[in-house]
């Protein structure tokens, strides 16, 4: 009879969007101290229905991976794959929150007559590189 190797999955998987660099830094912690094997990183752009391998063969001492091939605006999930010669396990998926947006409210010095709408231009920039959109808020008397 052979022994069964139980390998706990990596924990504390945290993807963090870096807007200045346009990349995601994924960090994790191993839940075991097995001296052999490697780490891989998988990404899902469809809520976890399918997974793409974005890194393999990372050393056990590695605790982060930088993903530079993301599509801004998409919901993205990451999971860490821990492999040894005898077992493979995967972390729970972790969702990337972001990319973030920057909001700038433009001042207006235009006088507004009583009963007329007040228009306030608002510029919203997707820090993930998807562009800038200018919206106009219109406030009217109810």
- Strand 76-83, strand 38-44: pairing: antiparallel
| 99: number of Cβ within 10 Å | 21
What pLDDT score was predicted for residue 6?
79
Q: What is the pTM of this model?
A: 0.68
Lowest mean pLDDT of 18-22, 39-43, 106-110, 113-117, name the range: 106-110
Q: What is the pLDDT of residues 55-94, one digit of tens each?
A: 999 999 999 999 998 866 667 899 999 998 888 999 999 9
**What is the DSSP track for 3-41?**
PPPP-PPPEEEEEEEETTTTEEEEEEE-S---SS-EEEE
| 135: number of Cβ within 10 Å | 11
Could you tell me the fold of the domain covering 11-96?
Immunoglobulin-like (2.60.40)
Q: What is the pLDDT of residues 104-140, one digit of tens each?
A: 777 767 777 777 777 777 777 765 555 667 666 666 6
What is each CA distance from 6 to 62, 80, 83, 102, 106, in whole angstroms? 21, 16, 11, 46, 58
88 or 141, greater pLDDT: 88
What pLDDT score was predicted for residue 67?
94
Number of helices (H), then strands (E), belonging to the chain: the values are 0, 11
List the chain domain ranges: 11-96, 101-139
CA R_g for the chain? 23
């Amino acid at each position: 009879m052979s022994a069964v190797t139980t390998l706990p999955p990596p924990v504390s998987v945290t993807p963090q969007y870096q807007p200045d660099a346009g990349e995601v830094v994924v960090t994790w912690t191993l839940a075991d101290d097995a001296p052999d094997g490697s780490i891989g990183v998988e990404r899902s752009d469809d809520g976890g229905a399918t997974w793409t391998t974005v890194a393999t063969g990372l050393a056990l001492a590695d605790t982060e991976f930088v993903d530079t091939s993301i599509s801004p605006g998409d919901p993205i999930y990451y999971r860490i794959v821990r492999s040894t010669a005898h077992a493979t396990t995967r972390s729970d998926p972790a969702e990337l929150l972001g990319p973030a947006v920057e909001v700038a409210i433009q001042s207006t010095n235009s006088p507004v007559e009583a009963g007329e709408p007040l228009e306030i231009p608002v510029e919203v920039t997707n820090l993930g590189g998807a562009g800038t959109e200018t919206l106009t808020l219109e406030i009217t008397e109810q």
